[in-house]
Amino acid sequence: MTAPSLPATFAEIHRLIESLPEADDAAAATARAREAQLTKPAGSLGRLEEIAEWMAAWQGRHPPTVDHPRVSVFAGNHGVVARGVSAYPAEVTRQMVANFIAGGAAVNQLCKVMDADLRVYEMALDQPTHDFTVEPAMSEEECVRAMAYGMMAVEPGVDLLCLGEMGIGNTAAAAALCLALFDGKAEDWTGPGTGVIGAALANKCRVVAAGVERHKAVRRDPLALLQCLGGQEIAALAGAIIAARLARVPVLLDGFVVGAAAAVLHVLKPGLLDHCLVAHCSAEPGHGKLCALLGKRPLVELGMRLGEGSGAALAIGIVKAAVACHTGMATFAEAGVSGKSGE
Amino acid sequence: MTAPSLPATFAEIHRLIESLPEADDAAAATARAREAQLTKPAGSLGRLEEIAEWMAAWQGRHPPTVDHPRVSVFAGNHGVVARGVSAYPAEVTRQMVANFIAGGAAVNQLCKVMDADLRVYEMALDQPTHDFTVEPAMSEEECVRAMAYGMMAVEPGVDLLCLGEMGIGNTAAAAALCLALFDGKAEDWTGPGTGVIGAALANKCRVVAAGVERHKAVRRDPLALLQCLGGQEIAALAGAIIAARLARVPVLLDGFVVGAAAAVLHVLKPGLLDHCLVAHCSAEPGHGKLCALLGKRPLVELGMRLGEGSGAALAIGIVKAAVACHTGMATFAEAGVSGKSGE
């Protein structure tokens, strides 16, 4: 693949999106044909069979591989934290980045278990976005630059990309994005995040509603909403999803914040997330509803709500299992196993 | 641990069950205390946190480990196959055992991905149980011998035991056991198994109902039901669950057939499955209902219905992830991460 020149405007992102590859039907058909010959009743591996076919379709080759899974975590800070939307102070974003680098966070342990590598991307943590209740979180230029930064994170050799994030205040930004993209009430999309409850949660709902109201003029323009309500790490996630499609790398989406970044693209162009699976259903209350609107059934539901790519990293094991069964199992003929009676 | 003498009668199994260890509350408390200090909002790893505590409680030590997970697959043949309850001929049991040994089955690939070892136990495949619509599937002696055989499968060093099975016809036996243990209609518990549909499924329901009716005299005696309606591999699974409790090895239960073996113990003595988790919810229709009756929420639900321990092997990744986060993460103090605002 020749690296595309990075976009500098929303118009260039729109053009880029029109040129993205579709699923490889031939690779998918080869996968389906092999599945039918493997030593098991048809369909008995359930979603593992679908995942193997999906991996072939989006990698554009058969057999698919999961030899180099990567977890990419984007970190950003949010001006809206000044409105009291988080249970933790903004400096925790940088402290957690240091924890990722030192190997002490949950995602580090999960990457070890899944034999995945981890990259952490700091998005100018000392320059938080603006408070979206007052002005756009970013300029168009800042938003596109963040998207382009996310695009560069898709490197050659990676065959499965797991996306995660860290950013004190970013569930408020994600809730505002979802509310603006899909309507409803602020309460439908606003949850505790790191642990906001009671009066603080009611305040968070008001902040989310105020942000969406403030930027209602761009309500029909997903990229403008990303700029006005999102964050640097959220824009980078959207960029990474686009770049992964271009590079034929299937994507595992983590929880609510990554889902909001993906939702921008879903609204922008139907099918733009077909190369993505939702790894897990977060306990953050908006995420289940968001998954339904994206038409995605999460792979696991374990009540996790940590972010930092933890759910996506966990789900690597399921994708590895699917690909290993698909590529490693014997066929009925190879194993000398009888087929169904009467066949 | 001194190896207990193996039981030879149901009475001895009853006595053995009275002597089984309970959860180690001190180890569980140590796990809870550590969880509260790790660099994440409280509860944000959801069920992973519960699993880590559960592992400590049942291994009886802190920290818990998943260094030597094992998948044990028991294979048996069933006289009731003569009644046309399976889509595959009985010789497939032996053929699939050969496939396990050759490394060509799904469970082999899953064990590789999860770095688990696999043991396959053949239960006299050339001596199927009797047809339970005519007579007890086994004598008490045969049933206890099969249970004792299963007990021997719990070997020193294993720190997580995944139980699976292979046996053409064994979803009929499992359905009969569940119907006898929990009541309902045969249709509630009888599913397609390897792929029985339409008139063949209606026949399978009739066979299940006839078996339960034939042995209604022992309806209140779980071990007698296991003897009359179960199978050698099902009895071995029940034995393995008991032996794992004795040896302080937590257990992951696979699908419907393993669940039926576990159900015998659940009815025999409440709490006897507290050291077991249900790994996945099988697509076999009776399994979801069975899990609810056992009070167990499956770890994953991916539409699998293969048996052979595949769902349990898949879930090893989740337990490894839980233990890795619990033992490997930094505390707030170690990482220099700020706590919640105002704390």
pLDDT digits (tens, 9 = 90+) for B255-283: 999 999 999 999 999 999 999 999 999 99
Per-residue pLDDT tens over the stretch A145-164? 999 999 998 999 999 999 99
What pLDDT band is residue B343 in, cutting at 50, 70 and 90?
A: very low
> Residue A155 has which token pair?
């490197």
- Strand, helix or coil for residue A38: strand
Q: What is the pLDDT of residue A44?
A: 97
Is the bond leading into B63 cis (omega within 30 degrees of zero)? yes
Please tell me the distance from the alpha carbon of residue A209 to that of residue A341, in angstroms, as a whole number.
Answer: 62
**Which is nearest to B261 in space by CA: B123, B85, B119?**
B123
Per-residue pLDDT tens over the stretch A40-73? 999 999 999 999 999 999 999 999 999 999 999 9
Please tell me the distance from the alpha carbon of residue B136 to that of residue B148, in angstroms, as a whole number.
Answer: 19
Instruction: Indicate the residue of B91, B109, B325 with minimum beta-carbon distance to A324.
Output: B109
> Tokens 């599937």 identify what position?
B137
Please tell me the distance from the alpha carbon of residue A328 to that of residue B103, in angstroms, as a whole number.
Answer: 9
Query: What share of chain A in percent tops pLDDT 70?
Result: 98
**Record: contact A104-B39, CB cut-off 8 A:** yes
> Tokens 């993505």 identify what position?
A276
pTM above 0.90, yes or no: yes
Mean pLDDT is lowest, of A82-86, A296-300, B234-238, B334-338, for B334-338
Please tell me the distance from the alpha carbon of residue A171 to that of residue A257, in angstroms, as a whole number.
Answer: 6
Please tell me the distance from the alpha carbon of residue A232 to that of residue A143, in angstroms, as a whole number.
Answer: 7
In chain B, which residues have their Cβ closer than 8 Å to the Cβ of A334? 104
**Record: contact A110-B324, CB cut-off 8 A:** yes
Average pLDDT of chain B, as a whole number: 96
**Which is nearest to A231 in space by CA: A152, A192, A175?**
A175
Per-residue pLDDT tens over the stretch B315-326? 999 999 999 999
Q: What is the DSSP string of A102-160?
A: HT-SHHHHHHHHHT-EEEEEEE-TTSPPP-TTTS-SS-HHHHHHHHHHHHHT--TT--E
**Nearest CA of chain B to the CA of A281: how many Å?**
11
pLDDT at A342 over 60: no
**Record: contact A112-B45, CB cut-off 8 A:** no
pLDDT at B3 over 90: no
Is residue A297 classed exposed, middle or buried when 0-12, 13-18 and 19+ CB atoms within 10 A define those classes? middle
What pLDDT band is residue B1 in, cutting at 50, 70 and 90?
A: very low
Q: What is the DSSP string of B157-175?
A: T--EEEEEEE-TTHHHHHH
Q: What is the pLDDT of residue B342?
A: 52
Q: What's the count of helices (H) and strands (E) in chain B, helices before strands?
A: 15, 5
- Strand, helix or coil for residue B335: helix
**Nearest CA of chain B to the CA of A201: how many Å?**
14
**Nearest CA of chain A to the CA of B181: how many Å?**
27
Please tell me the distance from the alpha carbon of residue A289 to that of residue A302, in angstroms, as a whole number.
Answer: 16
What pLDDT band is residue A340 in, cutting at 50, 70 and 90?
A: confident
B121, B74 in Cβ contact below 8 A? yes
Residue A253's H or E segment, with its range, is: strand A251-253
pLDDT at B4 over 80: no
**Record: contact A335-B86, CB cut-off 8 A:** no
CA B105, B109, B115 angle in degrees (round to 5)? 135
Q: Give the residue numbers of A marked as catalytic.
A: 308
Please tell me the distance from the alpha carbon of residue B61 to that of residue B326, in angstroms, as a whole number.
Answer: 13
Per-residue pLDDT tens over the stretch A241-288? 999 999 999 999 999 999 999 999 999 999 999 999 999 999 999 999
Per-residue pLDDT tens over the stretch A109-132? 999 999 999 999 999 999 999 999
Q: ipTM above 0.90?
A: yes
> Tokens 């049942």 identify what position?
B58
What integer is the mean pLDDT of B51-79?
A: 98
